[in-house]
Structure 1
């Protein structure tokens, strides 16, 4: 198939750094409920579904599953990939594997392209920051995908010549821009330029952009009209129409090769547009079915059709601000549409505040690093290895052995790490999301202020300068539209300061987590090494007490503390934790704790009101199952009494009704979790529920049924000739339908699709008279139908 007519769909997948900068991981975000945080929610709605997008047949059954990442061109930003690697490894592996698979289809060119590291607006960055953003983006990409990137995404497609030149110097061959970012074009070798500003550029061909250094970079300008209809219109309501719009964009009497291509946020496919990934999958299949059109990626197309024209770009422009890059530094009028009347006067002071921090820290940091490392520039660009290595002891030691000057002290080695982490936080505090939305109290702005707070914190430690008063002073000029906060200074005090956690506070929290056998977030992230010794424990009268010592070491900066720590818990609203300098009188402190419940001997004390949302969320989830068990125990004790009331016809109290309801739920859960071995028993219990007119916890029951179905599918895949797991699936789904339980079948459907080849083998054996194979094949057909999967091979 020729490349004379080709289609490319680019998806920019991105989430900002949402981590607490002091702890290294994402804390619970209430607005993302019922999910823990927005990364988790968007993964469930978009990133995961795009690894296995469904194509349905005429009967509404799943006919095919498509990993769209292997077929589209895509960016997966480093801050997103690092989170996926730790929290959703299956999705992460599917994305990385998709790029490897795509190289087989696209003549060795992968579907993934790199991204500037922390999604800051490149025209607003210093030259040094641009260089690091590009170097880190390439290093992160290479470490994950095992190859050098051909292309690189500019955050918000915000472009300037210096950034393009640095990208080209780093080996980047192309980038993607919006059509209105083209200024003028001409055929290579021609003298006359043609003005194409206002989005009038021909988008169906690549261009070469010549740079002041003598280097050049190719630029693809995507079709803005189709991209807008995908992102903001209803084009994803029908995959056929989506494909038709792409086919219709070719010129009717073409005289040269043409590439029809679009670029949108990847989150459009499933998060912003529910089932958008299904429309995308159908569209991709429709393109692949055409013999006169080739599905491609930019690298492959560029190799086949080098630019015949050159372009001059309009510097200081972007794809999401009609005023250039005003959205990230002033009240330009661009907004999200939710609050069109809100003031944007907060944007300029926030930009001024972070620029003040950057410009105050950068020269002092450069001066300090020059006395500690061999080559500060090389050390900065290599520091991404610390992040990729999770600040493990081996990674840190390897980095310092490469870069630190010989003979520097352990304290100076720690200072190197602190300075480099400070510089990383300075880049993160410029992330584009800080200015994109409508108010300074929204999560994106709060997050950049948290990164600024951490940078200033490290500046105090490593450089001895305190920028926070000046930072807050500038934020006082940033008015908030939220009536709960007068200015950005109030937002900082309420939403940023409480997020800060020094090693002592982390040690106190570790004592509380130890009571429940939990790993603190700071340790789980790898940012801290926490080691505790807890010789004193007790649980009496509903109160749990713990006392011992804890060592907390920051892997990022090398800072370390050793403390006595105590925790006392008798309810989520009755928590006391504390730390103090190590002492010899642990026994006396323990007596005070167990006898009086007081911890007066501890110098830093925290109560329930001081716990973070993450701590309360984690502890509540651990305690909640115990409440259910306690209710069941009460029901068992009260069963004889309830029987007497029923026998005598005495109306039950409200408490008794609640006990019966909970008991029914627990019994139904037990049946579902055991695989519904006796559906008749389930039906009888369902009749009791209806007779009692109980309102069951359907989501909890549905979650239990979904978990058991997934386990049964895994068992069926592991035991390819055993029909029992498949028969169990049908029983569970049949029981779930009694109450219309909400089932989550995504994982189970994926596994079922993967078993269709086994089904074909068993069908052949059944056709030869194998009774066992016939039973298995029948069980698979029934299970597949229950899961909404077409059971037979095409």
Structure 2
């Protein structure tokens, strides 16, 4: 391994979940996706599990799970979201690490990360310990092995953090070249100054630590990394590989490692099709005999450090001013608003530190009265987070740590103290200070976590520090003209996210109207048991009434409510809760809410009443998606009622009102959608209707047609995979693609292509059978060839 290459991707997303509900709410800026996690997954995390390599004809020749060949950061907050919401992507990432161990002499491609990406040098020693302990535990639970490396968020470094990382059994970390201060050969006395990025990045270095421990440090090639992230290297995978190869010295005889580190999101999200360039680069490198693709621990085994380094403490990879980006107006910004001030960073840091320093000693002291070792309990609390606080995990936790057989109230207090610690770490996440204004989602999110921690402290410790928090934020200037200070941002964007058990119970009734699971229950943070004894859905009005029990799995709080929800349109929504009143009281309420004034009846009978203006964006999004399909049928019904009149006007040559054309276009689109959904059994009918629409200058809904065609292709491929010798599903694909071409529809076939690629082994078997005279196999193979070509897959 005299010449080796390693590419590291730092794949990470912050916690975006509502701290009270445990799920990510809709984020309008991520449209057409629900939120930014979904969007980046579709553009990057998913595509990197099956990155395409195309042949000369533009057909997919091979797919590469890039995670199995590069080194990558396994960030806990991202993996937790993927596990719940995109389990197929999560599974492919975990499997990639297993595959990489076979490729790289038993060493996995994944490395751990400090738990929630806070800036380690700005944290207390205790918080650093938790970050490392939780990061290691999270990694081990997911990958089934101990991590060998750990990513320091933003590569922000100090010796204390490195010492704690090494103490956890971590062998190495990765830093930027300008973070090296001086180097010398191991055993030598004299140091060489390499500050300013002059360190030789082609070798690992030993960093000696105050405790007597040591850790290996890899300094990545900053020039190539910068050109990957901000230049055009990802426009051509061959050129990307060539640039890495050109970095080797022609004269040097010792072993060399050329390696880079960038945000993993560069490959597909920041740079469209970047994952394809990465895959081609990896294939190019693996095909060579004069260079080896590797990961850091494999290289470290083969080539232990021969030099040691003194790192420049309190530096990072993304701020030229050390750590200024996360505590003051240093001049670093995102670039979208070059004239904006970041003077808000200082007050936000001050406010968060105030909360941290006020809560940590008080919660630790209170926790110490209930558990044997508060530090051990806090370290072990990650087991509760990983299990989503399910009952078995909570029971096991108390068996390990409780001083005695705790009462239910004491158990709830312990859980609340641990959640204070959890939220107090999340409120320090680096994204809160990274961008251009206090109104950015990352900054709002850390304020929400702080609010959650302060609320719990008020409930359990009687400690009210929110007024002091707001006072500090009043000194934070805001660039967004809608707000004058950070206090106004907090009141408008952070505080409304807070919910109590009453609101969660009322929300459960609202979601029950539409047979949906409330986000609070779906996230696992709450158990919600609804007994909806009365329900009606007539004349566009929905009503539900019953009882609902709500229990917080995180803190153990619980309550039982009578609950009602009424819907007569998006602007006519009422959902309410009150203390339970018994069966007779529920019957009386039902008679009232089914009367002439349901909303008035609910307002009069219930103590906590919410209406349409109280809906969160997530609730509005969920309801709108649920009822939207009915709009199409309603429009078609209007068209059916008016069809005879429209035809008569057309026959007489009398122009129909403009609305008639819209009705007709919608009705025709619905017919086309039905044909696509059935697999286009009669393409001629589809073509005829399309031609008729053109003749009348009617515009179809191309986006809806494209989505329908894409869904049908995927469904047909799944059926083809399940029906081993039946060519009918494959023929459906051929017909569907033919019909889609009539309108030039944009098809989303990524999943379909993956399914098709997975069937190439079956195709080879069918070709072999066809060669022996099997006519059925011949028909299947021919259909597969044509279907694969339709979606851009090479079959041999």
Question: What is the TM-score of this pair, normalised by structure 1?
Answer: 0.99
- Correspondence 1:766 to 2:764: no
Distance 1:373 1:244 in 2: 58
SS of corresponding position for 2:709: helix
Q: Choose from 249, 263, 266 the match for 1:265.
A: 263
Mapping 1:370-409, distance limit 5 Å = 370-409=368-407
Q: What per-residue deviation string (whole Å, max 9, x for no partner) do you get for residues 59-106 of structure 1?
A: 111111000000000002000000000000000000000000000000
In structure 1, the residue matched to 2:679 is: 675
> Tell me, which stretches of 5 or more residues in structure 2 are unaligned?
none
- After superposing the two structures, state which structure 1 stretch, 108-117 or 755-764, moved more: 755-764
Mapping 1:43-122, distance limit 5 Å = 43-122=41-120
Distance 1:444 1:512 in 2: 29
> 1:379 Cα shift?
0.5
Distance 1:692 1:89 in 2: 46
Q: What per-residue deviation string (whole Å, max 9, x for no partner) do you get for residues 355-413 of structure 1?
A: 00000000100100100101111110100000110111111111112111213211010
In structure 1, the residue matched to 2:623 is: 619
In structure 2, the residue matched to 1:750 is: 754
Q: What per-residue deviation string (whole Å, max 9, x for no partner) do you get for residues 704-761 of structure 1?
A: 1111100111111222222111111111001000001110000011111111122222
Q: What per-residue deviation string (whole Å, max 9, x for no partner) do you get for residues 658-716 of structure 1?
A: 22111101100000000011110110111111112111111111111111100111111
SS of corresponding position for 2:547: strand
SS of corresponding position for 2:257: strand
Mapping 1:386-785, distance limit 5 Å = 386-584=384-582, 585-595=585-595, 596-597=597-598, 598=600, 599=602, 600-785=604-789
Distance 2:695 2:401 in 1: 74
In structure 2, the residue matched to 1:15 is: 13
> 1:191 Cα shift?
0.5
Distance 2:24 2:675 in 1: 36
Q: What per-residue deviation string (whole Å, max 9, x for no partner) do you get for residues 176-231 of structure 1?
A: 00000001100000000111110000000000001111110000000000000000
Distance 1:651 1:204 in 2: 76
- After superposing the two structures, state which structure 1 stretch, 123-132 or 634-643, moved more: 634-643
Mapping 1:342-353, distance limit 5 Å = 342-353=340-351
Q: What per-residue deviation string (whole Å, max 9, x for no partner) do you get for residues 252-284 of structure 1?
A: 112210000000000000000000000000000
Distance 2:782 2:51 in 1: 26
- Correspondence 1:29 to 2:27: yes
Distance 2:789 2:26 in 1: 37
> 1:587 Cα shift?
2.5
- Correspondence 1:341 to 2:345: no
Distance 2:292 2:109 in 1: 14
Distance 2:172 2:378 in 1: 25
- Correspondence 1:318 to 2:316: yes
SS of corresponding position for 2:19: coil
Any conservation in 1 of the 2:551–2:557 contact (CA below 8 Å)?
Answer: yes
In structure 1, the residue matched to 2:142 is: 144
Distance 1:766 1:591 in 2: 71
> 1:632 Cα shift?
1.7
Distance 1:295 1:354 in 2: 43
> 1:637 Cα shift?
2.7
Distance 2:521 2:364 in 1: 30
Distance 2:738 2:759 in 1: 21
Distance 2:607 2:392 in 1: 35
In structure 2, the residue matched to 1:292 is: 290
Q: What per-residue deviation string (whole Å, max 9, x for no partner) do you get for residues 639-659 of structure 1?
A: 333333333333222222222
- After superposing the two structures, state which structure 1 stretch, 10-19 or 773-782, moved more: 773-782
SS of corresponding position for 1:571: coil
- After superposing the two structures, state which structure 1 stretch, 771-780 or 203-212, moved more: 771-780
SS of corresponding position for 1:189: coil
SS of corresponding position for 1:54: strand
Structure 1 residues 91 and 582: CA distance shift in structure 2, 3 A: same
> 1:420 Cα shift?
0.4
SS of corresponding position for 1:120: coil
> 1:770 Cα shift?
2.2
> Tell me, which stretches of 5 or more residues in structure 1 are unaligned?
none
SS of corresponding position for 1:474: helix
Distance 2:677 2:786 in 1: 20
> 1:781 Cα shift?
1.2
Any conservation in 1 of the 2:83–2:90 contact (CA below 8 Å)?
Answer: yes
Q: After TM superposition, where is structure 1 displaced by more than 6 Å over at least 4 residues in a row?
A: none
Any conservation in 1 of the 2:74–2:139 contact (CA below 8 Å)?
Answer: no
Distance 1:135 1:440 in 2: 30
SS of corresponding position for 2:268: coil
In structure 2, the residue matched to 1:195 is: 193
> 1:476 Cα shift?
0.4
> 1:541 Cα shift?
4.0
- After superposing the two structures, state which structure 1 stretch, 635-644 or 123-132, moved more: 635-644
Distance 1:513 1:387 in 2: 25
Aligned residues: 790
Distance 2:732 2:539 in 1: 44
SS of corresponding position for 1:159: coil
CA-based RMSD of the aligned residues comes to 1.0
Distance 2:144 2:698 in 1: 56
> 1:540 Cα shift?
4.1
Distance 2:491 2:267 in 1: 37
SS of corresponding position for 2:594: helix
